[in-house]
Chain A
Amino acid sequence: MAIEGVDIVKAAAFLGAGISMGLGAIGPGVGEGMAAAKACEAIGRNPQEAGLLTRTMLVGQAVSESTGIYALVIALLLLFVV
């Protein structure tokens, strides 16, 4: 098996893409779960404000999602552009 430089670079890009998206998914997953957890607790205490709480939860989660999207973008760049 002759290993060439281009091949090693591609291999590293693929591994990097996998590691980027894999590790990058941990934080948003846990963080968004926590946001939703507190929203559930809050609605349990104050069901009338369910609409407001859901909106706040979704905005907070969207911000927390951004790092997951950064990881996705980097993974796609590594796979298709670099």
Chain B
Amino acid sequence: MSYEIQTWVRVAAYLGGGLAMGFGAIGAAIGEGHTAAQANIAVSRSPKNSGDIFKSMLVGQAVAESASIFALVIAMLLLFTNFANPTYITVAVMISAGLCMGLGAIGSGVGSGYPAGAACIGMSRQPGVANKLTTNMLIGSAVCQTPAIFALVTSFILLFTNFSDRPVNPTWAAILGAGLASGLGAIGSGIGGGLVAETSCEGIARQPLCSQSVTNIMLLGQAVTQTTAIYGLLVSFILMFKFMPASDTISSAMALLAAGICMGVGAIGPGIGEGVTARSAVSAISRNKDATASITRVMLVGQAVAESTGIYALVIALVLIFVV
């Protein structure tokens, strides 16, 4: 059973489009559902502020939605772009770009829903700080979206780089690995960043006077949370841009695919864990502002230890790419 290369490319493009939109729809829907649930609770507590709460819910949901809109864009591109001179690498590119954007949208969609929900609850408690809450929510959700943007960038580079001068054999696996590293690596950082932003909105509603230090520590905690997504992006860039010499063994291809899987999956846990840490740190600071310095120090030490397994995954991925 043999088909022409055009047939395989179309098969891969349609499959990739389905994967992009299917996975990409998961996160945003969960996040927006969470926001709406919290908004309902908020309105029931404080019906007279329903206007502000409703507005905040819609703005927060719009930010969470952007992750799945990225996935929609990639799915459309995969369905309707005609790629000239297809090779078997193009087949891998289609599937990889779809998987990358689909998986990459999960974390950011879920994560962005948390701060929006907490902002709605906060407005029912402290209507006076609605503006501060909205600002903090938007900053927090914007940081949550960065992993999805990393995945979008990787998908675009995959789709619009000309790989046709590369040898088919290890390159197909490098392409698939690049998509998985960036896509899977975005999940943990997106969710983790959302957890941090959630409690910072809660904290500002509880104690509006400390909003400045809460926002600062939120950004610090989120920045550490993003590091594992950046490792994923780094590994996928190496896999895309390093010229892999031609080989006729399956093991050289599997090493590159395994590097992508290792970094992508390995980034999930540290991303979530560091987010959990920063969430509690922000909450503790909003309760006891005087202890900010020692809480921040312990947060950073704890996050550094949680980061270690992400670094092991990075090391194994780099060994798989460069050593074996």
Contact = CB atoms under 8 A, between A and B. Distances in A.
Contacts of A45: 284, 287-288
A19 B277 CA distance: 26
Given A18-B261, A21-B313, A40 B302 contact: yes
Contacts of B277: 33-34, 36-37, 40
A33 B270 CA distance: 7
A43 B299 CA distance: 10
3 tightest CB-CB pairs across the interface, nearest first? Answer: A36-B302, A33-B273, A44-B284
Interface residues of A, number: 56
B279 A50 contact: no
Contact of B306 (A13, A24, A33): A33
Given A26-B266, A65-B309, A50 B273 contact: no
Interface stretch (B28-36, B55-63, B138-146, B316-324): B316-324
Interface stretch (B37-45, B118-126, B249-257): B249-257
A64 B27 CA distance: 29
A53 B306 CA distance: 17
A5 B216 CA distance: 56
B312 A68 contact: yes
9 contacts: A22-B263, A25-B268, A25-B312, A32-B302, A33-B273, A33-B306, A36-B306, A37-B280, A47-B291
Given A11-B249, A25-B270, A37-B281, 18 more contacts: A14-B320, A18-B258, A23-B265, A29-B228, A32-B305, A33-B302, A36-B303, A36-B305, A37-B280, A37-B302, A44-B287, A44-B291, A44-B295, A47-B288, A57-B301, A58-B305, A76-B316, A80-B324
Interface string A3-21: 1000110111111111101
A57 B306 CA distance: 11
B188 interface: yes
B250 A3 contact: yes
B274 interface: yes
A17 B273 contact: no
Given A23-B265, A29-B272, A36-B302, A41 B316 contact: no
A3 B312 CA distance: 31
B257 A33 contact: no
Contacts of B295: 40, 43-44
Given A47-B290, A68-B309, A79-B324, A29 B271 contact: yes
B254 A72 contact: no
A16 B316 CA distance: 11
A61 B71 CA distance: 37
Given A8-B250, A68-B312, A43 B273 contact: no
A40 B279 CA distance: 9
Contacts of B229: none
Contact of A26 (B258, B263, B265): B265
